[in-house]
Structure 1
């Protein structure tokens, strides 16, 4: 199940908050490798390291990185944890890299009394999306409507588990665009840790004081090309949680004008399934309206409007709301992180990011 390599650190070649990028010399060549200092310490040139190359060798979604599992010869680098420190939530449970964290809803934590009977989001809008790449566009759209919003990102465990893997999160936090990152279920490493999406949303509202929560898996969407075998199913489940807790569910559509796979061109089947069949409560569906002046983009968005109309005919719990795309290309051009979805940027797949941005716009609007 795990493919191992052993190597020697040549040097550090980059990184971001919570992540060090290394070049590691192995018998098979030099590999770019990620090290999480909070987990394995900070390897230095000349250190022997053990690497997990399982996903890398299969060409899967690790961004082309091996992952440092241990620096076995340098116990002085290993992170240490006070065994008496509070926190009993174990995430990545029963894997070799399981980690213990202090949950926001943990009885040992300072917020337990606030959350022990919490049961209502007070109408807080909750945007759910399929892909992590939608996050900056949703936030940009919300901020275009109201720049002073307190926005919490709830990261679920359908993709990467460590929040540090997301350079998007690091850059949005550095720019002040996210108030808090809350890692839910098996995901870990956020500003706050939660057991479920439900408790993460309650923490967003009552601990963070968020005006808006965005729920989306970490980087690394998992899919099999089947009707039900994709991690984005959780978008529908997230909006069910929002509805049960008295939030305002907003369904961000997965859209593409450039995906070579027919099932994702226009309105992705992921959105049709997650919102049309998994979601069981009323929700708003923001639909991009108007024209951008880009023929391919405008043709795609027209197709999406027709596809959404057919979807809502079958799923009357969904309420489509037209949201103009006027000025949103300019808004997206100023996002303080790289916009990228399935290897495509804003110029290659503008429809994808516009569909996410209008979700943020709608969620930031006051309710009637």
Structure 2
């Protein structure tokens, strides 16, 4: 059984080049193909270099944007390990395992600060399931806050592992919409690395002094059409982690009235499964729908599944959200659908921003209604 395909080629063009990430054109036996190069593994490639690319995803027509991935750079014969501190391995026991300086380990400057952590003190943390929700949440938060804030994005390993794959995050960082990134588990490439989601949250709150934290996977959610077989199911145990650490968990629902698949109509079966059967915490679920028929459809889903009894559900009914979106730097898009096509998915992100920016009134509401 052969589960991976490789092909050799020559680099003929450099499309984009950053210190840690390159997009290139490669001439192969199958013509010129696009490829992505993560320099942590294979170094910087140049025009004329002979390389080997992993072609598996393109051959399977998966959602990688039509890119192959560089697995070997024949011009890079040897690569010495640097002497920087760090002993925590990511991609462990694979040919590409590499060391990181995790924020928790004893060589870290932050080890003692993390050890001092006691509680999140009801601090609200937002958790999504689709990477497209990330830019909308942070852009709306920065737009509505009207002040300098420290925004932290924690990327899980539920989808793409390298944060460099996300052009959205690169743009949001450069525009100071996201201030810091933390990659947890086997995800990598953030400003900081953490062993797991618990210590990632603790670091963002205790050390970075975040004003807002959002947690979500990178690009490339996995789904199988079965009840439990999707990577977004991680939202459930992350929401539980927030409550266990003393925070206020806010769940971004996946809502669509444009998806042709019945299981994703209104409140997606993914969200229903997570919020009904997986999560134990009492969560806040913000959304925004002004259309009476669509709101009635969603509310029937909430009540039929007992979610109105288990969680606090808030419809912010944001009439001017389209005006907010019009000022975004990153234009929202999910699975090829824009904000015009799919407003309700993205409006829930703006609703969450409004809630966490609601000040003491919302904080008091959360304390009295969401957590014991």
Task: Please tell me the TM-score bracket, short chain as reference.
Answer: over 0.9
Residue 246 (str. 1) matches residue 246 (str. 2): yes
Q: Which residue, 59, 62, 65 being the options, matches 1:63?
A: 65
Q: What is the CA deviation profile of residues 69-97 of structure 1, one whole-angstrom value per residue up to 9, with x for unaligned ones? A: 12123337x5x432x32111111222222
Native 8 Å contact 2:126 2:352 kept in 1: yes
CA–CA separation in structure 1 for the residues paired with 2:256 and 2:100? 38
Contact 1:256-1:300 within 8 A present in 2 as well:
no
Q: Partner of 1:230 in structure 2? A: 230
Report deviation, 1:257.
1.9
CA distance in 2, matches of 1:139, 1:304: 25
Indicate the SS of the match to 1:75: coil
Residue number in structure 2 paired with 1:191:
191
Distance 2:337 2:14 in 1: 28
1:143 aligns to what?
Answer: 142
Structure 1 residues without counterparts, runs of 5 or longer: 292-297
| Distance in 2 separating the partners of 1:242 and 1:194 | 16
Q: Which runs of 5+ in 2 are unaligned?
A: 365-372
Q: Deviations over 1:31-57 (max 9, x none)?
A: 100012232111111100011111121
Q: Cα 1:359–1:309, aligned 2, differ >3 Å: closer, same or farther? A: farther
Alignment of structure 1 residues 76-225 onto 2, 5 Å:
80-82=80-82, 84-147=83-146, 148-225=148-225
1:317, distance to aligned residue in structure 2 (A): 2.7
What are the Cα deviations for residues 166-191 of structure 1, in whole angstroms up to 9, with x where unaligned? 11111111111111110011101101
SS at match of 2:158: coil
Q: TM-score, normalised by structure 2?
A: 0.91
Residue equivalent to 2:56:
54
Instruction: Write the distance in 1 (CA, Å) between the matches of 2:40 and 2:53.
Output: 16
Work out the CA distance in 1 between the residues paired with 2:137 and 2:152: 12
Question: Structure 1 residues 72, 135: closer, same or farther in 2, change over 3 A?
Answer: same
- Structure 2 distance, partners of 1:300, 1:20, is 43
Query: How far apart are 1:217 and its partner, in Å?
Result: 0.6
Given that 2:275 and 2:307 are in contact with CA atoms closer than 8 Å, whether structure 1 keeps it comes out as: no
- Over the aligned positions, Cα root-mean-square deviation in angstroms equals 1.8
TM superposition shift of 1:309: 3.6
- Counterpart Cα distance in 2 of 1:149 and 1:301: 33
Map of 2:6 onto structure 1: 4
Conserved? CA contact 1:17–1:170, under 8 Å: no
Quote the Cα distance in structure 2 between the aligned partners of 1:118 and 1:50: 46
Deviation at 1:139, TM superposition (A): 1.4
Residue 322 (structure 2) pairs with residue 329 (structure 1)? yes
Question: Is residue 153–residue 182 contact of structure 2 (8 Å, CA) maintained in 1?
Answer: yes
1:320 is displaced (CA, Å) by: 0.7
- Which residue of structure 1 aligns with residue 367 of structure 2? none
Q: Which runs of 4+ in 1 moved over 6 A?
A: none
Change (3 A) 1:365 1:99: farther
User: What's the CA shift for 1:122?
Assistant: 2.5
Structure 1 position 20 matched with structure 2 position 13: no
Select 1:347's aligned residue among 336, 340, 349: 340
